[in-house]
Structure 1
């Protein structure tokens, strides 16, 4: 199969809604180098332009968002004739129904060609570009769209019971991505902060009685912290598995978002244990897991006892489950199954997986990003592609990965390239010994995985080729060029001030560029031109340094792609990326 076959044959599910026995879901796919999406009702396709999403049923009417290149519209379906456009914004992120109309989180359309001025530290954001406009809360009353909450911050979520309204927003911690919950007065726009301590918020929900819950934590700037379900007005919190939410990575282009449901006294959310994620319910102060197996649940909905959800496995990109129904939009796709391997590394159990095609074939170690993300039981296009092309694929969750408890996730902080690298190398040795692998080894990873790829080739020559994607090479320069680097690098390196002499020295000694003279491994660097998380200057530095000392190196730059270039980049670029990676590894490993 050619690289394009792995993308153009796929149909994915980013959202499911169940209401009064009706099942709505969205399917997304790639067609003519564009992402397309349509809405289905009880598995029957009901929208056909290929740019519809976010379906909602209210008073037996269907509402949905139609997205175009530079605008989004909210539409109301009509019994006869075309759906009616209610209003249009630059982007619509979410909408909810209220007694006074429709609450909307959206952004205005702005002219991106105008000069841009800022006085904030965070003035641009990956996949959004320069922050010329922010996410605001609007109310549509049936006639006009009125802005309720806005400012130089983002409204990130909204919940209502039809009367009371609460939002999550970065109003009091925007530069650092910290969020809080606020009650909103719809008449005046006045905000009353509900949460006291600082932390992050991924999603909020409200039941009919007006009780609120959110998915997040109140532990300040702690990227490694386990997420909880918190009821801020009742001083209660719950953890699902080892962390609420789902940090198991995949390279599927579905764009799934976090979600919680609060119905009566029942809360539903996702929780993660190792490389799995499942649905958990919280009721009567008890937390129970209600799905099982080696799967990664990616989205769900619940209504009056009806549960619908979709999940991924290493063999199947997505399965939609509702009552006795199991719907597979990709019946002709079946990936190879991995074997789980647990390795003891310096007294710590490290979970990993291997897909061994042939002991004599070359083997590629994949390193995940984050660092507080995880690999697990989700479908990976790239893994299947390389196995189908004659390579063994291995991957693991070293110290720093989420899903094994907060202490495990925190174990790489201040020590990037230390015990986390030892875990990876111990895993490689264990897999090599277990399967008697005789071929050459390659290494690749993106983001923190790109950092670790750069780092590993400065510390060891056991890999015959490396491909570093959206990587980090210089933790100092990244502090001044990344959308989050000024605080993220500081926290993750265990220092207080990145611009102090001590801070700069530690950041440099933790940077691969500091040891670049040691590199002998042929290394390819792949980067999106519009990556604001790990800016392309990180790849440029490492590439120039490698070339100056005669190390075989290639720099690949993808126009128009952000940090998400491997998951939801331009389709042509994603296809070229697999082809380019295959050529590099074939050259040096076969």
Structure 2
């Protein structure tokens, strides 16, 4: 039996040992945070090293051309030196003393090499596959995943029509899921695992399955990977396989059925580290556990029960790039980053007693980390600043070694969040935040916006968030917190199944009450509420259960759990996981938890923001709630963004991101000012 008395040292430290400034700071010499400030922020991701050389990708928003550019950079004397100028770098690999870029075009992948000096890229290989993940033994021997289409829609068309794009004329679905947010139609699409050796390519997995999660042992004897099929809709699960490279045989290993494996990494040639989540009917959102797998015996050993800290993590953001770092493993334990309430520290888990202790100071949110020189290289943001690189020796304050975003942030009126303590519906002391308006005047009342995060398995941090900072610069106070259902406080805290719109709603209202009680500049008669995804459904829910908000802006929302079941790319498991019902076994429960059921009670003027290619919270979800409010004579408006998806606020086309924020701000200006 594993020990359950896991150390809560980080939570105790976070709730009892942090303090933020309690007075608004302004500097009239600085520039205001504008509606387009996100385009000035450089989002850093995909950090790798060769010796002491540091490489990374920077993504920028180009307002003029209404697009994003992504290029490969090297850190030189604290500055970002561009190594590519195409603007299309999606990722890269490091091989010996070279950098390998992949360029995909029309089902082919061209491999480009940047050798020492990192000058002009030269092509060294072209494959007729759309290549994804790659694990190299050498240039002539590697493993890769690639997309595969089970059937083409134009196979039997006359030659005269094959040149035309059939997908623009019709769509054919014959399986679930048939589309995916951000990817479009995925019907018949699979990821196949291949081995490339001396010019020959061999498929290692069935084309009916999806392969992924590759990990190569240090001695190049084994490859670990996962495969999944589309037969189980409500339970996320896959199978773990170990491939013997010399023997060219694969064996399946596992803990039990209905288990999902991830974060594969070899400790040495004999053991594999991984996370595994076995389905829990009572709480599908429970954390994963940590395991060691003996390659030869196939035996699993649990080394941490995953409570309360998950491997990896992240805080809700609208200015950063996606990052993932492999855990750092040694004989004493494992080092990884994790969401801890509203922080993202680097922590160490001890194998000996399963205690988790923070390594980095808690005012640093660590997005990525690598072993470097005698310590660590961190990609992190400190307080309200943007991402930068830091050297960290494991003990002392991290030392910043770059200026990629710092000067930009320092020249603008960035507001410092202030802490709000409150007691949630479970009697737990929790913490949220308020951003005071810039140019704050004592004794004056200010309109206030409640911003609710997505997920709900997510968390807001105390770091920079563009839309909130923009509203503060527009004269609003902004309040935000992490109600039950979110990340960073363990599986029990994340449990919402059967009580969606219950305990989380209670927590949100308790937080609003506490904010009003603690900050007398909040005008309780001029409150607005907004949020996207989970924040959108909660906005819809709130306006049907209270009239305390004078205006609302519901973004990429859910209004009807019954319709979501058959429309969303995750509808077949998301509703079941949170409501515990489906339309055929308990339609009444789904309807009872649907904001649409309470539309006849809504009095709050509400703006709806939606995208026509949002397959996570499809457009009909916003339209239904909007139509109902129109029917009942409630002031309402819907703005539909063409060609955008669920990620509009984070990676939508730059001009559409500006238009979205402008629409929300104008709506609040109309009803709150």
Q: 1:307 maps to what in 2?
A: 376
Of 334, 349, 357, the residue aligned with 2:429 is 349
Q: Deviations over 1:437-495 (max 9, x none)?
A: 22611000111111110000001111111011110100011011111112211121133
Contact kept in structure 1, 2:420 and 2:518, CA below 8 Å: no
- The answer to whether residue 593 in structure 2 is matched with residue 516 in structure 1 is no
Gaps of 5+ in 2: 1-31, 154-164, 294-298, 393-398
Contact kept in structure 1, 2:336 and 2:348, CA below 8 Å: yes
Is 167-176 or 270-279 further displaced after alignment? 167-176
Q: Distance in 2 between matches of 1:81 and 1:75?
A: 10
Q: Deviations over 1:389-436 (max 9, x none)?
A: 1111100111111111211111x3211111211211111111112111
Q: 1:327 maps to what in 2?
A: 402
Q: Distance in 2 between matches of 1:553 and 1:202?
A: 44
Q: 2:337 maps to what in 1?
A: 270
Of 178, 182, 187, the residue aligned with 1:127 is 182
SS at match of 1:505: helix
Normalised by the size of structure 2, how large is the TM-score?
Answer: 0.81
Of 170, 176, 190, the residue aligned with 2:228 is 170
Q: 1:492 maps to what in 2?
A: 578
Q: 2:289 maps to what in 1?
A: 228
Contact kept in structure 2, 1:77 and 1:84, CA below 8 Å: no
Distance 1:587 1:92, change over 3 A: farther
Contact kept in structure 1, 2:629 and 2:635, CA below 8 Å: yes
Of 34, 48, 58, the residue aligned with 2:85 is 48
Contact kept in structure 1, 2:312 and 2:324, CA below 8 Å: no
- The answer to whether residue 219 in structure 2 is matched with residue 219 in structure 1 is no
Q: Distance in 2 between matches of 1:478 and 1:542?
A: 13
Matches within 5 A, 1:136-151: 136-151=192-207
**Higher-RCO chain (CA-CA 8 Å, sequence separation at least 6):** 2
Distance 1:522 1:585, change over 3 A: same
- The answer to whether residue 73 in structure 2 is matched with residue 12 in structure 1 is no
Q: 1:113 maps to what in 2?
A: 166
Q: Distance in 1 between matches of 2:322 and 2:625?
A: 31
Q: Distance in 2 between matches of 1:297 and 1:75?
A: 31
Contact kept in structure 1, 2:329 and 2:335, CA below 8 Å: yes
SS at match of 1:567: helix
Q: 2:533 maps to what in 1?
A: 447
Is 479-488 or 356-365 further displaced after alignment? 356-365
SS at match of 1:292: coil
Is 506-515 or 125-134 further displaced after alignment? 125-134
Is 519-528 or 87-96 further displaced after alignment? 87-96
- The answer to whether residue 238 in structure 2 is matched with residue 179 in structure 1 is yes
Q: 1:383 maps to what in 2?
A: 468
Q: Distance in 2 between matches of 1:519 and 1:258?
A: 45
Q: 2:491 maps to what in 1?
A: 406
Of 471, 493, 501, the residue aligned with 1:417 is 501
Of 516, 520, 527, the residue aligned with 2:610 is 527
Gaps of 5+ in 1: none
Q: 1:104 maps to what in 2?
A: 144
Contact kept in structure 1, 2:303 and 2:351, CA below 8 Å: no
Distance 1:73 1:520, change over 3 A: farther
How far residue 509 of structure 1 moved from its aligned partner, in angstroms, is 0.5
- The answer to whether residue 448 in structure 2 is matched with residue 363 in structure 1 is yes
Distance 1:266 1:95, change over 3 A: farther
Is 265-274 or 482-491 further displaced after alignment? 265-274
Contact kept in structure 2, 1:136 and 1:147, CA below 8 Å: yes
Distance 1:72 1:560, change over 3 A: farther
Q: 2:654 maps to what in 1?
A: 571
- The answer to whether residue 262 in structure 2 is matched with residue 206 in structure 1 is no
Is 243-252 or 73-82 further displaced after alignment? 73-82
- The answer to whether residue 556 in structure 2 is matched with residue 470 in structure 1 is yes
Distance 1:352 1:409, change over 3 A: same
How far residue 88 of structure 1 moved from its aligned partner, in angstroms, is 4.9
Q: Distance in 1 between matches of 2:333 and 2:141?
A: 26
Distance 1:127 1:427, change over 3 A: same
Is 428-437 or 248-257 further displaced after alignment? 248-257
Q: Distance in 2 between matches of 1:28 and 1:320?
A: 16
Distance 1:201 1:275, change over 3 A: farther
Contact kept in structure 1, 2:607 and 2:638, CA below 8 Å: yes
Higher Rg of the two aligned structures? 2
Q: Distance in 1 between matches of 2:369 and 2:489?
A: 23
Normalised by the size of structure 1, how large is the TM-score?
Answer: 0.91
State the aligned residue count.
Answer: 586
How far residue 223 of structure 1 moved from its aligned partner, in angstroms, is 4.1
How far residue 197 of structure 1 moved from its aligned partner, in angstroms, is 4.1
Q: 2:19 maps to what in 1?
A: none
Q: Distance in 1 between matches of 2:33 and 2:363?
A: 29
